[in-house]
Structure 1
Amino acid sequence: MLYKDFKESIKALGFLTIEDFIQYSGVTSDDVINWEEKNEVPYMVSLLLHLLKGEKELLPTNWALDTVIEECLPLASLLEEASSFPHKLEEMFLLQKKLNDSTNGKNWELGLNKFGKEINWLRCIHMEVAELIESTPWKHWKNINSAPDMNNIHVELVDIWHFLMSYILQETNVPKAVSLSNTHCIYEASEDVDVKLMVKEAEKLSYIALAIDTGNMPSFSGIERFIDQFFRCCKISGLSFTWLQKLYIGKNCLNQFRQDNGYKEGHYIKVWNGNEDNVVMVSLLEKMDDVSFDDLYSKLKEEYSKCK
């Protein structure tokens, strides 16, 4: 199906905009841009439009239909999974607010913590992007052929998400934050990671942070750009929204655990029997089907007691 036929078909079906179809079908804006550039829409999408219009005579023969259904299953699975995303987003934003209230004190949204120290979420994002890039072999003078540390890259993305959520909550509230983020969560994480592209896209998060901080981009439009670019980075790096949420709860729990065990005072032990606490946390997550904040906190407490 040609792109122009695709646009006419979704209009005939009652979709007011392409964005409405994106939200309904589970494809991404990047997918649609790619279709427009190639002037060609994938067969699976064309089939979906025919089914919605009831054009059964255009469906493939029975022997081919089994193959098509098999190809559609990942999309159906993604859409079913996506129905839980608003709840998961709300849970994460509420956890982030609770963590900030605990570590920074009430009214941290005004830009100061309970000790009177300035809070700069934009700088936090900028610094975490640098740590993400450090997990790749970007240096032309050192370790040229080494592999990127994808596990740590995903952890750094989760750290960026902590600070990005905090910045969003500083500028708005939880329901609005969920509304702004919801449609961006529906994507299929890349299986083949292009490291150079990943670094370039991660750097754009720093550019957005600096543009807002220097007054060259309005805060609210910056938030929308931030959210879109962040989930693009997740997609390119192979980090699914489901694993992002799982890692977030893990890292949020670890951050609270650190605070409860002297992180701010400087006597917290970050390396547990030869492994950094982030690594221990991820290994615990991988063994848990359903991640509960309280259950993970108990497991961290048990592991930490062994390294004292």
Structure 2
Amino acid sequence: MMDLQHTHNQQVHPQWHKQDYPFHRAIWTECAELLDHYGWKWWKLQEPDLVQVKLEIVDIWHFGLSMLIVAEQNVVELSEEMTSREQDRSVVGPSFVATVEALAQHALKRRFDTTAFMDMMNALPFSLQDLYGIYKGKNVLNRFRQANGYKEGSYQKFWDGKEDNVHLAELVLTLDPYQSNFLSDLYNQLDNRYRELTAEGQSP
């Protein structure tokens, strides 16, 4: 996943790891968006949108991975620590919202805490295996956005009234993320749907 993240970040800037981008700020902002999808308002009825919650968690993982790459985190140690934390679910309290807030607090201190991240994953619950599958899909979407003018402002994030994340989730369900051609197949399907449903893809 680190290789995929590095490749994506290079589309933003070839020397992205030397630009001092505020990845920590992106994380706590994503935490707030995540809670809106999960529901936290006591003054009205809210049903958790778990698809969007998981997509937001993957967004957080993108930024967290970027921080880990800049910090030159040891990949083997990271994998062992996160797998161990996932297996020891007894360390997690009952409140998903509290774990999101704990992760945000670390981000406000300019840190990405993998233990806090895993506690949030366990509390939902959301497995590392599922994170990997959706991460690959989100990485494809991020590359697709950049290739279609996201940075320049010409990309259309809503296709036929639905956000691209929703289209992504629909398409991922039709594919096997563990197949070797998953990345290319998903990219092609995103491209086909985008051009079919947006004005940019219509013939003049």
2: CA distance, partners of 1:299 / 1:270: 16
Match of residue 109 from structure 1? 17
If the length of structure 2 is used for normalisation, what is the TM-score? Answer: 0.86
Structure 1: stretches of 5+ with no match in the other structure: 1-91, 113-117, 214-221
Q: 1:248 aligns with which of 116, 135, 152?
A: 135
How many pairs are equivalent? 191
Runs of 4+ in 1 over 4 A off after TM superposition: none
Q: 3-state SS of the aligned residue for 1:209?
A: helix
Corresponding position of 2:103: 205
Distance 1:238 1:263 in 2: 32
**SS of match in other structure, 1:264:** coil
What is aligned with 1:35?
none
* Partners of 1:169 and 1:177 within 8 A in 2: no
Please say if residues 189 and 236 of structure 1, whose CA atoms lie closer than 8 Å, have aligned partners that are also in contact: no
**C-alpha RMSD of matched pairs (Å):** 2.0
Deviation of residue 298 (structure 1)? 0.8
Distance 1:131 1:189, change over 3 A: farther
Q: Deviation string for 1:186-233 (max 9, x for gaps)?
A: 53699xxx9x7111101111111122x3xxxxxxxx55xx11111111
Structure 1: which amino acid aligns with 2:41?
K
1:258-291 deviations in Å (ceiling 9; x for gaps): 0000111111111111221101111111111235
Looking at structure 1, the residues matched to 120 and 162 of structure 2 have their Cα atoms a distance apart, in angstroms, of 27
Residue 294 of structure 1 aligns with which residue? Answer: 184
Deviations 1:80-124 (A, max 9, x none): xxxxxxxxxxxx110001111121222x222x2xxxxx5101111
Corresponding letter in the other structure for 2:17: E
Could you tell me the TM-score, scaled by structure 1's length? Answer: 0.58
Q: What residue number does 2:125 align with?
A: 238
Cα distance in 1, alignment partners of residues 183 and 77 from structure 2: 24
Q: Which has the higher contact order (CA 8 A, sep 6+)?
A: 2
1:154 matches 2:44: no
1:184 aligns with 2:82: yes
Q: Which has the larger radius of gyration?
A: 1
Sequence identity of aligned pairs in percent? 34
